[in-house]
Amino acid sequence: MSDKINKYMQRAIDLSINSVNNGGGPFGAVIVKNGKIIAEASNSVTINNDPTAHAEVNAIRLATSQLKTYDLSGAEIYSSCEPCPMCLGAIYWAGIDKLFFANTKTDAKEIGFDDAFIYQEIALPFAKRKLLTKQTMRSEAQKAFTIWNEKEDKIEY
Protein backbone atom coordinates (compact mmCIF):
# COMPACT_ATOMS: atom_id res chain seq x y z
CA MET A 1 0.00 0.00 0.00
CA SER A 2 1.07 3.54 -0.59
CA ASP A 3 2.35 5.86 2.11
CA LYS A 4 -0.79 8.03 1.75
CA ILE A 5 -3.10 5.07 2.31
CA ASN A 6 -1.05 4.01 5.34
CA LYS A 7 -1.11 7.58 6.70
CA TYR A 8 -4.91 7.84 6.52
CA MET A 9 -5.39 4.31 7.85
CA GLN A 10 -3.09 5.04 10.75
CA ARG A 11 -5.23 8.07 11.56
CA ALA A 12 -8.37 5.89 11.59
CA ILE A 13 -6.58 3.40 13.87
CA ASP A 14 -5.47 6.22 16.20
CA LEU A 15 -9.08 7.45 16.34
CA SER A 16 -10.23 3.94 17.28
CA ILE A 17 -7.72 3.73 20.13
CA ASN A 18 -8.64 7.22 21.37
CA SER A 19 -12.30 6.24 21.22
CA VAL A 20 -11.76 3.30 23.57
CA ASN A 21 -9.81 5.53 25.96
CA ASN A 22 -12.65 8.08 25.93
CA GLY A 23 -15.51 5.65 26.52
CA GLY A 24 -16.49 4.84 22.93
CA GLY A 25 -16.27 1.71 20.84
CA PRO A 26 -12.99 0.63 19.20
CA PHE A 27 -13.68 2.08 15.76
CA GLY A 28 -12.41 5.09 13.81
CA ALA A 29 -12.96 6.42 10.30
CA VAL A 30 -11.42 9.07 8.07
CA ILE A 31 -12.86 10.47 4.84
CA VAL A 32 -10.43 11.91 2.30
CA LYS A 33 -11.20 13.85 -0.86
CA ASN A 34 -8.66 15.33 -3.25
CA GLY A 35 -5.83 14.28 -0.94
CA LYS A 36 -7.25 16.14 2.06
CA ILE A 37 -8.98 14.82 5.19
CA ILE A 38 -12.48 16.29 5.10
CA ALA A 39 -13.88 14.41 8.10
CA GLU A 40 -12.83 12.02 10.80
CA ALA A 41 -14.78 10.42 13.61
CA SER A 42 -14.89 7.58 16.05
CA ASN A 43 -17.65 5.38 17.40
CA SER A 44 -19.85 7.21 19.91
CA VAL A 45 -22.73 4.74 20.36
CA THR A 46 -22.46 4.60 24.16
CA ILE A 47 -21.33 8.21 24.54
CA ASN A 48 -24.31 9.60 22.59
CA ASN A 49 -26.76 6.79 23.35
CA ASP A 50 -27.21 6.46 19.60
CA PRO A 51 -27.00 2.99 18.03
CA THR A 52 -26.31 4.58 14.63
CA ALA A 53 -23.29 6.56 15.85
CA HIS A 54 -20.73 4.26 14.28
CA ALA A 55 -17.44 5.80 13.17
CA GLU A 56 -18.23 5.60 9.47
CA VAL A 57 -21.71 7.09 9.83
CA ASN A 58 -20.39 9.86 12.09
CA ALA A 59 -17.65 10.64 9.57
CA ILE A 60 -20.13 10.67 6.67
CA ARG A 61 -22.39 13.07 8.58
CA LEU A 62 -19.45 15.39 9.24
CA ALA A 63 -18.19 15.21 5.65
CA THR A 64 -21.57 15.96 4.10
CA SER A 65 -22.09 18.82 6.51
CA GLN A 66 -18.62 20.20 5.79
CA LEU A 67 -19.03 19.95 2.01
CA LYS A 68 -22.73 20.90 2.07
CA THR A 69 -23.66 17.95 -0.16
CA TYR A 70 -25.05 14.46 0.29
CA ASP A 71 -22.84 13.21 -2.56
CA LEU A 72 -19.35 12.16 -1.54
CA SER A 73 -18.30 10.97 -5.00
CA GLY A 74 -14.56 11.16 -5.39
CA ALA A 75 -14.00 10.48 -1.69
CA GLU A 76 -12.27 7.59 0.03
CA ILE A 77 -13.06 6.22 3.47
CA TYR A 78 -10.51 4.63 5.76
CA SER A 79 -12.01 2.55 8.53
CA SER A 80 -10.21 0.86 11.38
CA CYS A 81 -12.52 -2.13 10.84
CA GLU A 82 -14.50 -3.70 8.01
CA PRO A 83 -17.82 -1.83 8.06
CA CYS A 84 -20.98 -3.36 9.47
CA PRO A 85 -24.04 -3.69 7.21
CA MET A 86 -25.41 -0.28 8.25
CA CYS A 87 -22.12 1.49 7.62
CA LEU A 88 -21.50 -0.30 4.35
CA GLY A 89 -24.97 0.79 3.21
CA ALA A 90 -24.23 4.38 4.26
CA ILE A 91 -20.92 4.31 2.36
CA TYR A 92 -22.73 3.19 -0.80
CA TRP A 93 -25.55 5.74 -0.33
CA ALA A 94 -23.00 8.53 0.15
CA GLY A 95 -21.37 7.65 -3.17
CA ILE A 96 -17.91 7.16 -1.68
CA ASP A 97 -15.60 5.68 -4.33
CA LYS A 98 -13.09 3.70 -2.28
CA LEU A 99 -13.11 1.82 1.02
CA PHE A 100 -10.00 0.78 2.91
CA PHE A 101 -10.21 -1.09 6.23
CA ALA A 102 -7.86 -2.65 8.78
CA ASN A 103 -9.53 -5.15 11.15
CA THR A 104 -11.94 -7.67 9.62
CA LYS A 105 -15.52 -8.48 10.61
CA THR A 106 -14.12 -11.74 12.00
CA ASP A 107 -11.72 -9.75 14.20
CA ALA A 108 -14.69 -7.68 15.39
CA LYS A 109 -16.72 -10.82 16.11
CA GLU A 110 -13.91 -12.15 18.30
CA ILE A 111 -14.27 -9.15 20.65
CA GLY A 112 -18.08 -9.20 20.75
CA PHE A 113 -19.10 -7.15 17.69
CA ASP A 114 -20.83 -9.79 15.56
CA ASP A 115 -23.02 -8.55 12.71
CA ALA A 116 -23.48 -11.91 11.01
CA PHE A 117 -27.07 -12.16 12.25
CA ILE A 118 -28.00 -8.97 10.36
CA TYR A 119 -26.67 -10.37 7.09
CA GLN A 120 -28.64 -13.57 7.76
CA GLU A 121 -31.84 -11.69 8.67
CA ILE A 122 -31.75 -9.55 5.51
CA ALA A 123 -31.78 -12.67 3.37
CA LEU A 124 -34.83 -14.15 5.14
CA PRO A 125 -38.46 -13.68 4.09
CA PHE A 126 -40.27 -11.25 6.42
CA ALA A 127 -42.18 -14.05 8.17
CA LYS A 128 -38.96 -15.81 9.21
CA ARG A 129 -37.14 -12.79 10.66
CA LYS A 130 -36.60 -12.43 14.41
CA LEU A 131 -37.92 -8.85 14.12
CA LEU A 132 -41.66 -8.84 13.53
CA THR A 133 -41.90 -7.40 10.02
CA LYS A 134 -45.30 -6.77 8.43
CA GLN A 135 -46.24 -4.68 5.42
CA THR A 136 -49.32 -2.51 5.83
CA MET A 137 -51.05 0.46 4.10
CA ARG A 138 -48.99 0.20 0.91
CA SER A 139 -51.70 1.75 -1.28
CA GLU A 140 -51.88 4.83 1.01
CA ALA A 141 -48.10 5.14 1.06
CA GLN A 142 -47.95 5.03 -2.74
CA LYS A 143 -49.27 8.62 -2.80
CA ALA A 144 -45.86 10.00 -1.73
CA PHE A 145 -44.15 7.90 -4.40
CA THR A 146 -46.57 9.14 -7.07
CA ILE A 147 -46.03 12.77 -6.05
CA TRP A 148 -42.25 12.23 -6.12
CA ASN A 149 -42.35 10.50 -9.48
CA GLU A 150 -44.38 13.31 -11.05
CA LYS A 151 -42.41 16.15 -9.43
CA GLU A 152 -40.42 17.95 -12.09
CA ASP A 153 -38.09 19.95 -9.85
CA LYS A 154 -37.00 17.09 -7.56
CA ILE A 155 -33.40 16.63 -6.56
CA GLU A 156 -32.59 13.01 -7.37
CA TYR A 157 -30.10 11.15 -5.25
| pLDDT 10s digits, 21-71 | 999 999 999 999 999 999 999 999 999 999 999 999 999 999 999 999 999
Q: List, by residue number, the catalytic residues.
A: 56
Structural element, H or E, at residue 33: strand 28-33
Q: How high is the pLDDT of residue 20?
A: 97
Of 117, 142, 143, nearest to 131 (Cα)? 117
Look up residue 84 and give its DSSP letter.
P
Write the pLDDT tens digit of every residue in 80-122: 999 999 999 999 999 999 999 999 999 999 999 999 999 999 9
Of 44, 46, 39, 52, nearest to 11 (Cα)? 39
Contact between residue 55 and residue 27 where contact means Cβ atoms under 8 Å apart:
yes
How far is it, in rounded angstroms, from Cα 40 to Cα 137?
40
Average pLDDT of every residue of the chain: 96
Q: How high is the pLDDT of residue 23?
A: 95
Measuring CA to CA, how many Å separate 64 from each of 33, 36, 95?
A: 12, 14, 11
Name the amino acid, one letter, at 37.
I
